[in-house]
Structure formats: structure tokens, C-alpha cells
A = this chain, B = another copy of it.
Amino acid sequence: MAPASYTFAAGAEGAWRILDIRPSIGEGLAAASALDIRSGLVEAAPVEVWTLRGVVSNLRYTTAAEAAELDLKQPPLGRPEATRAALLPIRKSPAWWALAQDERRAVYEERSRHTSIGLDYLPRVARRLHHCRDLGEPFDFLTWFEFAPEHEAAFDELLARLRASEEWRYVEREVDIRLRRA
């Protein structure tokens, strides 16, 4: 009954071709040509340029009402038309992690509208969130997004709205990786 986990290995081979690796906040990640997504927490092979790992854990802020709305609207990964993708590794600050649960929830949704903003872009953008802070990884979250090429502008707008929110003041590292299906 362990939660599903995934390893994102950047190197020469993989099902996704890396188009761009852009440091958004803080240090970026090394250039690589392809990304391979593997099931499980796999150790980095020497041939990989970088490897990031995360776990699809339980909901941390989402209420039952929000979860029901998301379940109705959010598409699955792997849609044939969704040939573009983005991987956004993010690390939040110690100040964020020192907040109590109700304080983080208030910033996340009541003041930053994280879930509400995301809902505006469904079903155009499919998404899977991976947690990795407790694994001792360099990032706290890895979010994987898939969309059709004509919806990349909408995806950019989604990111711009989130990055302008109070929640993003707590982001101390963010890398924006864009990909297309190989």
C-alpha cells in the first residue's frame, strides 16, 4: 500500500525530449537532451545528468469539496494530443515549513488561490504532484504537467498567476523545464 513514486532521470535517452531548462528562482539544473520517467525511487545511474525523485503522497491542503471539483475536471496524463510537458521542481523556504498547518493553508488557498487558479486551466492542463522534501531531495515538490501545444500559452499564464501570488514569496528555488514527447 506504499504510495506511488517516480524517478525523473535527465540524460541522453528518454520518452520526452527536453526543449528548455530555465532557472526561474535560484540555481538551475544542468542541460540534458532527454528525460526518462521511471516508476519507483530509482538510484541515479552514472550516465544520467541529474535525477530527481518524488512520491505521490496524500492531499496536504485540498478540502473534500475542492477534491470533488478537481476529480470532475482534471484530465489523466498520457492523452495523445498532450505532446508538450513541463516539469517544475520547487523548493520552499524554511519560513514556509515553520508555519503551522492553518497558516500554510491560508497562504496557499485563502490568499493565493492556488487550487482555484489551477481549476481555471482544466481540462487543458493535466498534472501530477510529487512530494520529495522528506526524502532528503534537493527540491520539496516536482510537478509534472502535460498539455497540447496550443495550450502552452494558457499554461504560461497559469504559472504567471501563481508566481505573482503570496505563496511564491516562500519559493526559494524553482526550475522551469519544457519538453515534447519524443
Contact = CB atoms under 8 A, between A and B. Distances in A.
A1 B64 CA distance: 32
Interface string A93-119: 010011111111100000000000000
Contact of A64 (B57, B59, B63, B100): B100
A62 B67 CA distance: 21
Contacts of A64: 99-100, 102-103
Contact of A101 (B2, B61, B97): B61
A141 to B, nearest CB: 12
Interface residues of A, number: 31
Contacts of A98: 58
A60 B5 CA distance: 20
Interface stretch (A8-16, A76-84, A129-137, A146-154): A129-137
Interface of A: 1-3, 5, 41, 55, 57-64, 66-67, 94, 97-105, 131, 133-136
